[in-house]
Amino acid sequence: MGRLREPAQGATDRVLLASCGAVVPETLLAAELLAENEGVDATVLCLSSPDRLYHDWRGSHMPAIETGSATGTCQLDRLLAPDEQGVPVVTVIDGASHALAWLGSALGMRCVPLGVDRFGQSGSQPSVYAEYSISPEAIVAAALVALE
């Protein structure tokens, strides 16, 4: 897991794009399109194991739920810069969108989860990604919605 793209210094309109797997290149392209065409800077996170990230986050917060004590830190906390709290997030996965939708709640941010939520389409990769709204253009649109 790591940060693949950093926002420009002093950027005012910002979004966090969290992605994994085969759609990471589309997410990076969307970040470039956002900057060039919309004036929106994006941090791009590559989540190499959403399952491990979720269990790490949950494990760091469960003691607080059970005892009322302060929460611990987890990998997700370490991935974000302090000034990224409150920045809207778009999650992108070539699987079920709900697999990453929890990030919005975990981060306390508005979240637009993108993914494959219905099945049966076939075609070229760009046409299938467009159909499922995980193309660079769809990611840009989702980021703009998250910023509203």
CATH of the domain at 24: 3.40.50.920
pLDDT reported for residue 112: 97
Q: Does some domain include residue 119?
A: yes
Give the residue numbers spanning the domain of 107. 2-51+80-147
Per-residue model confidence as pLDDT tens digits over 84-120: 878 999 999 999 999 999 999 988 899 999 999 888 7
- 42 pairs with which residues across the strands? 15
Q: What is the full DSSP assignment across the chain?
A: -EEEE-PPTT-SSEEEEEE-GGGHHHHHHHHHHIIIII--EEEEEE-S-HHHHHHHHHHHHHHHHHH-PPP---HHHHHS-GGGTT--EEEE-SS-THHHHHHHHHHTS-EEEE---S----S-HHHHHHHTT-SHHHHHHHHHHHH-
Q: Does some domain include residue 11?
A: yes
pTM (predicted TM-score):
0.91
